[in-house]
Amino acid sequence: MSTSVRAFKSNAITIATRPRVRARGSARRSTVRAAVTDPATKISFPDTNASGLTAIGAGCRMKRIAILDVKIYALAMYVDADKARAQREKGLLDGDYDKEVAIELARDVDGKTFYEALDEALSPRIREIATNMATAEDDEGNFMASVAEAAEVAEDAALEELDAMRSGFESLKLKSGTKMTISWTPAGAKKATIEVQGSAKIEFESPEFAKALLDVYVGGAPVAPSAASAFENGLAKL
């Protein structure tokens, strides 16, 4: 398996530019998009990310602890705006374009706890995807044994990726303000990457894992409903 987990450090780069002088009457209109802000935590995200993707909304991941709803992190979704607009009818889950979820923690969370929360949401989704694959029928309604076998292999590969994620997160101490990204390449590559600012980068190759991970945030039962609703509204307004 080629899943990789590695530590890394990032360097900040500042670029200074000279203002461009325009001849009178040559000024062009430009559309300026506002940053997106999660209403619950007041955490804001830039309107475009480093990859040039466009923010379509933000929300908050809440967790019920005892009788209180605790704010865990804010999240925003970024998409390739042109392709997302052209494929709007496919929705965020099935659209074939780059997507990214940016996360900023609103409280301290140890890596093990963060992983366990994701595992709780991911495991049943992986198994559901594998079950749907295994029970697929041909055009005549016949059960296909070869498809069932392939589904079992795919499920095992996705669960191995889940183990790799645990290894990447279990030793991390995630402080309030820590930023991370979860990115998905187009369906042709079917990969996902989780990157924790200044700490770790985990790359996944299982398409079933990648789909389950995306479903966590934009599927039928998202872990952050307010965010998922904001993402859908943002997609509709592109």
**Is the pLDDT confidence value at 124 over 90?**
yes
Q: Looking at residue 16, what is its pLDDT? A: 32
Q: Please tell me the distance from the alpha carbon of residue 98 to that of residue 112, in angstroms, as a whole number.
A: 28
Alpha helices in 91-184 (DSSP H): 91-94, 111-134, 145-169
Q: What is the pLDDT of residues 141-177, one digit of tens each?
A: 665 677 788 899 999 999 999 999 999 999 899 999 9
Residue 27: exposure state from Cβ atoms within 10 A (0-12, 13-18, ≥19): exposed
Could you tell me the fold of the domain covering 35-237? Chalcone isomerase (3.50.70)
Q: Please tell me the distance from the alpha carbon of residue 191 to that of residue 180, in angstroms, as a whole number.
A: 17
First to last CA, the chain: 38
Q: Looking at residue 132, what is its pLDDT? A: 87
- The ranges assigned to domains in the chain are 35-237
pLDDT confidence band for 26 (50 / 70 / 90): very low
Q: Whole-model pTM?
A: 0.82
198: left (phi over 0), alpha (psi -120 to 50) or beta: left
Per the prediction, the chain carries an average pLDDT of 85
Lowest mean pLDDT among 6-15, 31-40, 139-148: 6-15
**Is the pLDDT confidence value at 7 over 60?**
no
* Cβ atoms of residues 112 and 170 within 8 Å: yes
Percent of the chain with pLDDT over 70: 81
* Cβ atoms of residues 115 and 170 within 8 Å: yes
Q: Looking at residue 60, what is its pLDDT? A: 97
Q: What is the pLDDT of residues 38-97, one digit of tens each?
A: 999 999 999 999 999 999 999 999 988 777 889 999 999 999 999 999 999 999 999 999
